[in-house]
Every structure is written in structure tokens, then in C-alpha cells.
């Protein structure tokens, strides 16, 4: 809908008020078509056959007042316009009745341009949203009219997921009578095939499942176009049937199908209910959860809500300790690929023992590897870092089982460590620059050669040689020099106590600080400040 083409009707028995409001609407919205009527009866006649968008109406009018007009307007024109009451009567009873009659707003005379513009903006937004929804619904209805079986499956899917609208509920009840003892089952299969092959396979799977269950139940099959790897079955067990017998027959049929077609089929079975019409959504949700948790139990390929509950209850919560993470970090820092992977797998096993949701488990794995990648950031090329970060997210989220997650994690961790070693060897100049910045930013810490070397993933001995070759002095002498230069600046540029300055540059022992400072600058800190701070 184009908001510029909207049609508005102003209804008021007072000509000055009516014309003034109409003029204000035309001023604010020049492209609007604006009509006028002097009472409810005249307005009702004007509205018949027209597609009005908005009506502003007074309440107290002769012949037919605004409330009577609004009530009579329902069902008398091609579409229901948005009604706004405009009146000097702003008592609660009027507003309450106006709302009951579907009023979208209530304005009190005299109406200001600002308040009118606000109402118009809100009504335009509502009309555009409603029109868009109507157009979408109309397009969908027209398309489904040509594909009734697909439309009926669509209704079943929406019923199962609790998304049916009242009109759709009535339509579904005309086609289906699903009640009593039953459950929901979801079959999942990998469909890395061409479009034609996928359609053929889905058809085969649907027929096989329906045939296997035909003796035991009435099965309503749903194979959504947007979920080509899934087949939903709403199962209504026949009287006197044992659900376990029917499911066993289905399992046997699917096992034969997998052998013939060399495909893997997973099944999630919802909980049983004796009131399917009431509990179908919870049956569906429990089936979806059971199917999701096949992530942990791929060898079974068949998970029921009852079995899943038992598996989760038997899960053990094993906390990942700081030592676990520390061992992994140390292995990564040392460039030890096999040890890094071993420690990573041990941590993932501990996480999996608590049986978090599969999505949470994959997120845990992502966070673990991103932490390892973050460690390698100081020595890794920015482009390689960004590529690996994206691969970690993409590859781990796509995994469909715990073994697949662990395999992907192992491969990615190997890539991280190997890339770190390559980049470290080719970026010594940049590393030394980052090292200088790191030291300058952390002079207050208990810095040492081993600490800094480990931060940049170097062996301490090799790092000592690399450092001296680059800066021309040893690491220890460089650190002392930086600390003394910082201390000198603080003495001259601040009024901080000497003891505080000593701590700020990494000396806990003020006597030792004084000794090193005097050796460097020939004066104690206090003498240096007195002599040079005022010059």
C-alpha cells in the first residue's frame, strides 16, 4: 500500500471544526484524498462502496452520532477503516466505548497539528503492516490453492508447532480428526543430492514409514519444503495397539531402507500422550529435542524422549579446572600440536559429560578454540587470525555429532598452532615492536624474561638472543632502562611520592629502587627531583 494514496473521511456536524480538521490533514498529507460528512448517517452513505483508510469522527452529532456510526460501519464497507474519535467530550465512558468499537485513538478538541501528525504516522504504519500481511497471506493462499496436499501438510505442521490461527484451526478440523493416544516422530536424513534425487528420496522415505505404521496407526506425514532433511509423522495409534510394537516395526523398516539405499536415518520420538489433540505441541517439542540429542548418541540413530531423559539424568557434571586450561595454554604456547590436541580433547570430554544442549556444547568448543587463537594473536598475521576465527565458528557449528565436533576442533587447533609457528618465524621485527609495547604497558608488573617470552610463544633462551640482536642490549638491561626512564618522568612531571613511583615502575623494595636510580642518574630520587624539577 502506498501511504500517499490513502483516503480519509472527516465527520463533524460543526462546519468550522470539520473544514479545519480536513484542511489540517490536507496540509500535513497533501496527497491524501480527504472527504467530509456532517453526521453519522451521511458518513455511512459516503463510506459504502469506498475503501476508506482512516475516519476522524465527532461523537455528539444529530441524526446519527459518532458511536452509532462506528457501530454501523462494521461490515458495511469493503474494508474496515481505522477510526479516531475527535470530541470535546473526553470522559472515560466515551473513551471506553470508543475502544470497544475498535477506535484506534481518541483526540480532544481543539486538535493540534502535532498531535494529528503523530496519530497519522501511527495509523499509516499500522495500515502498511496490515496490508503487507494481507498481501503475503493472499499470495500464500493462492499458491496453496494449487497444491492442496502441500497446504494440508502446512496446516499439520503449524498445528504441531502451535502456530495455527483461528481460521486455519477451523479449516484443519474440517480435514483431520486427530485425537486420543499418539505421539510425534521426526525422521532426519542427510540430503546431499540433486533436487530431483531429494524429492525421490523423500517420497520413498514417506511411503516406507507410512506403510510400516499402517497396521498400527493412522500416520499423518509432513515433509516441509524448507526442511528437506526432515520428515514429521503425527502418529495416532489405533485402539488396543501397543505403541512399542508399532515403533519396533518402523525401526525395522527403516533399518532395511538404510541398507538398501546406503543412507543414514535418525529418529526422534516424542513422549506418548492419551490426548494428542491437546498435547501435540509438547510431543513435537520432545521429539525435536530427542532428535537433537542424537548428537551424543549417533550409534543408536533412534532416540525417544523417555530414553533421553534417562541419559541426561545419568550425565555427570565435571568442572573444567584452571589447571586443565593452563595445560592447554602451555601446550599451545610451546607449539606442541599433539599435546595441544590431547589437552583440548580432554577438556571437551569433560564438557560433554554434563550433556549440555548440542548447541551449547558446540559453543563451548568454539569458545575454547577462540581462547587458544587469542593466545596466538601477538605472533600471528592479522589475515591468518581473521580466517581461523571465521573457520572456527563456521566449521564447529555445522558439526552434527560429538565425534565430528572433536575432529573439527582437533584439526582447527592444529591449524592454529602450526600457523602460529610459521608466523612467529617470519615476523620477528613486528614481534619485537609488540614486545617493547608490552613491556612499556606493564612496567608495574613483575616482568621477567620467561614471562615475556612465554607471552609471545618463544623459548626463553631463543627469545633472549632474538631480543639482544634486535635492541642491542640484554632483556634485563632494557627493562631496567625503561623503568628508570619512566621513574624519571614521573619524578619530574608529577608530585607522587617516591614510594608510589617505585611501585608504579615495578619495584616493591624502595631501598633497591633508590639504589638502582642513583646508579643510573648519579642522584637519589629525592635529590634528582629537588635539583631538576624546578629547572
Q: How confident is the model at residue 98 (pLDDT cuts 50, 70, 90)?
A: low
Sorted by sequence, the CB contacts under 8 Å of residue 180 that are 6+ apart come out as 236, 237, 274, 275, 276, 277
pLDDT at 45 over 80: yes
CATH of the domain at 28: 3.40.50.2300
Q: How many CB atoms lie within 10 A of CB 15?
A: 10
Q: Are residues 308 and 331 in the same domain?
A: no
Q: Are residues 300 and 379 in the same domain?
A: no
Cβ atoms of residues 85 and 107 within 8 Å: yes
* Distances from the Cα of 315 to the Cα of 298, 302, 355, 404, 465, angstroms: 17, 19, 6, 20, 51
pLDDT value of position 196: 65
β-pairing, 230-237 with 182-189?
antiparallel
User: What residues are paired with 83 via a beta bridge?
Assistant: 55, 103
Residue 145 lies in a domain: no
Q: Which of 140, 173, 190 delimits the end of a domain?
A: 140
Q: How far is the C-alpha of 420 from the C-alpha of 37, rounded, in Å?
A: 79
Q: Are residues 373 and 387 in the same domain?
A: yes
| Chain-centroid distance, C-alpha 154 | 25
Q: How far is the C-alpha of 342 from the C-alpha of 337, rounded, in Å?
A: 9
Average pLDDT over the chain, rounded to whole?
Answer: 87
Q: Are residues 260 and 393 in the same domain?
A: no
Provide the number of structural domains found in the chain: 4
Q: Are residues 135 and 231 in the same domain?
A: no
pLDDT value of position 89: 65
Residue 16 lies in a domain: yes
Q: Are residues 290 and 197 in the same domain?
A: yes
Q: Are residues 292 and 307 in the same domain?
A: yes
pLDDT value of position 375: 79
Sequence-ordered strand ranges (E) for 48-131: 54-57, 82-87, 103-108
Q: How confident is the model at residue 250 (pLDDT cuts 50, 70, 90)?
A: very high
Sequence-ordered strand ranges (E) for 66-196: 82-87, 103-108, 182-189
Q: How confident is the model at residue 160 (pLDDT cuts 50, 70, 90)?
A: very high
pLDDT at 282 over 70: yes
The 8-class DSSP code of residue 110 comes to S
Residue 41 lies in a domain: yes
Domain that holds residue 399: 322-426
Higher-confidence position of 316 and 530: 530
Range of weakest confidence among 201-205, 281-285, 407-411: 201-205
Q: Are residues 298 and 337 in the same domain?
A: no
* Distances from the Cα of 114 to the Cα of 83, 107, 120, angstroms: 18, 12, 10
CATH of the domain at 218: 3.30.70.270
Q: Which of 378, 400, 426 delimits the end of a domain?
A: 426
Q: How confident is the model at residue 4 (pLDDT cuts 50, 70, 90)?
A: low
pLDDT at 290 over 70: yes
DSSP 2-42: -GGG-EEEEE-SSHHHHHHHHHHHHHH-TTSEEEEESSHHH
* Distances from the Cα of 47 to the Cα of 5, 123, 253, 508, angstroms: 16, 18, 64, 88
Residue 91 lies in a domain: yes
pLDDT value of position 426: 64
pLDDT at 91 over 60: no
Range of weakest confidence among 100-104, 212-216, 274-278: 100-104
pLDDT value of position 92: 55
Determine the average pLDDT of the residues in 153-173. 90
pLDDT value of position 100: 67
Residue 494 lies in a domain: yes
Q: How confident is the model at residue 460 (pLDDT cuts 50, 70, 90)?
A: confident
Q: Are residues 364 and 472 in the same domain?
A: no
297-343: pLDDT as tens digits: 866 688 889 888 888 777 676 788 888 888 898 888 778 899 999 99
pLDDT value of position 94: 66
Q: Are residues 331 and 252 in the same domain?
A: no
Q: How far is the C-alpha of 484 from the C-alpha of 489, rounded, in Å?
A: 9
Residue 27 lies in a domain: yes
52-86: pLDDT as tens digits: 999 999 988 999 998 888 888 876 766 788 899 88
Q: How confident is the model at residue 454 (pLDDT cuts 50, 70, 90)?
A: confident
pLDDT value of position 144: 59
Q: How confident is the model at residue 90 (pLDDT cuts 50, 70, 90)?
A: low
pLDDT value of position 525: 92
Give the rounded percent of residues in the chain with a pLDDT score beyond 70. 92
- Secondary structure of residue 400 in the 3-state scheme: coil
Sorted by sequence, the CB contacts under 8 Å of residue 16 that are 6+ apart come out as none
pLDDT value of position 72: 87
Q: Are residues 412 and 504 in the same domain?
A: no
CATH of the domain at 480: 1.10.10.60
pLDDT value of position 412: 95
pLDDT at 2 over 80: no
Q: Are residues 416 and 503 in the same domain?
A: no
Strand order in the sheet with 230-237: 217-222, 230-237, 182-189, 265-269, 302-304
DSSP 236-255: EEPTT--HHHHHHHHHHHHH
Q: How far is the C-alpha of 424 from the C-alpha of 330, rounded, in Å?
A: 16
Q: Which of 92, 121, 140 delimits the end of a domain?
A: 140
Amino acid at each position: 500500500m502506498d501511504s500517499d494514496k490513502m483516503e480519509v473521511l472527516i465527520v463533524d456536524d460543526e462546519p468550522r471544526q470539520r473544514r479545519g480538521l480536513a484542511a489540517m490533514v490536507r496540509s500535513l498529507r497533501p496527497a491524501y484524498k480527504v472527504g467530509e460528512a456532517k453526521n453519522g448517517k451521511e458518513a455511512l452513505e459516503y463510506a459504502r462502496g469506498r475503501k476508506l483508510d482512516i475516519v476522524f469522527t465527532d461523537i455528539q452529532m444529530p441524526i446519527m452520532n459518532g458511536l452509532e456510526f462506528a457501530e454501523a460501519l462494521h461490515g458495511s464497507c469493503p474494508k474496515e477503516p481505522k477510526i479516531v474519535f475527535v470530541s470535546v467530550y473526553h470522559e472515560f465512558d466515551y473513551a471506553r466505548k470508543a475502544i470497544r468499537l475498535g477506535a484506534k485513538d481518541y483526540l480532544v478538541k481543539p486538535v493540534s497539528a502535532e498531535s494529528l501528525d503523530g496519530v497519522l504516522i501511527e495509523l499509516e504504519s499500522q495500515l502498511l503492516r496490515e496490508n503487507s500481511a494481507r498481501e503475503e497471506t493472499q499470495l500464500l493462499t493462492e499458491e496453496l490453492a494449487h497444491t492442496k496436499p502441500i497446504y494440508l501438510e502446512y496446516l499439520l505442521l503449524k498445528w504441531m508447532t502451535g502456530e495455527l490461527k483461528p481460521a486455519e484451526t477451523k479449516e484443519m478440523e474440517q480435514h483431520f480428526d486427530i485425537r486420543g493416544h499418539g505421539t510425534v516422530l521426526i525422521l532426519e536424513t542427510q540430503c546431499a543430492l540433486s533436487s530431483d534425487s531429494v524429492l525421490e528420496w523423500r517420497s520413498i522415505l514417506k511411503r516406507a514409514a507410512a506403510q510400516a505404521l499402517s497396521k498400527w496407526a493412522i500416520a499423518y506425514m509432513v515433509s516441509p519444503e524448507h526442511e528437506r532433511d526432515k520428515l514429521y509423522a503425527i502418529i495416532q495409534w489405533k485402539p488396543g495397539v501397543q505403541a512399542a510394537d508399532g515403533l519396533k516395526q518402523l525401526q525395522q523398516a527403516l533399518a532395511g531402507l538404510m541398507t538398501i539405499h546406503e543412507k543414514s536415518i535418525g529418529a526422534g520420538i516424542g513422549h506418548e500422550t492419551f490426548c494428542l489433540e491437546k498435547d501435540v505441541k509438547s510431543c513435537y517439542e520432545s521429539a525435536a529435542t530427542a532428535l537433537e540429542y542424537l548428537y551424543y548418541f549417533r550409534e543408536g540413530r533412534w532416540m525417544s524422549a523417555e530414553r533421553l531423559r534417562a541419559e541426561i539424568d545419568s550425565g555427570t557434571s565435571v568442572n573444567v579446572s584452571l589447571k586443565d586450561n593452563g595445560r592447554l595454554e602451555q601446550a599451545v604456547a610451546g607449539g606442541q600440536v599433539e599435546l595441544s590436541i590431547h589437552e583440548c580433547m580432554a577438556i571437551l570430554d569433560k564438557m560433554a559429560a554434563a550433556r549440555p544442549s548440542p548447541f551449547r556444547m558446540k559453543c563451548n568448543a568454539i569458545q575454547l578454540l577462540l581462547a587458544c587463537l587469542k593466545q596466538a594473536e601477538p605472533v600471528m598475521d592479522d589475515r591468518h587470525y581473521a580466517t581461523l576465527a571465521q573457520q572456527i565458528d563456521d566449521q564447529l557449528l555445522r558439526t552434527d555429532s560429538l565425534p565430528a565436533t572433536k575432529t573439527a576442533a582437533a584439526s582447527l587447533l592444529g591449524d592454529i598452532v602450526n600457523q602460529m609457528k610459521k608466523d612467529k618465524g617470519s615476523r620477528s621485527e613486528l614481534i619485537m615492536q609488540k614486545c617493547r609495547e608490552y613491556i612499556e604497558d606493564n612496567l608495574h608488573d613483575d616482568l621477567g624474561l620467561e614471562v615475556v617470552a612465554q607471552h609471545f610463544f618463544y623459548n626463553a633462551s631463543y627469545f633472549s638472543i632474538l631480543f639482544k640482536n634486535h635492541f642491542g642490549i640484554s632483556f634485563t638491561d632494557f627493562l631496567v632502562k625503561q623503568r628508570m626512564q619512566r621513574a624519571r618522568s614521573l619524578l619530574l612531571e608529577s608530585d607522587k611520592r617516591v614510594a608510589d613511583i617505585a611501585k608504579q615502575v615495578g619495584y616493591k623494595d624502595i631501598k633497591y629502587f633508590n639504589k638502582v636510580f642513583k646508579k643510573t642518574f648519579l642522584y637519589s630520587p629525592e635529590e634528582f627531583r629537588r635539583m631538576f624539577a624546578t629547572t
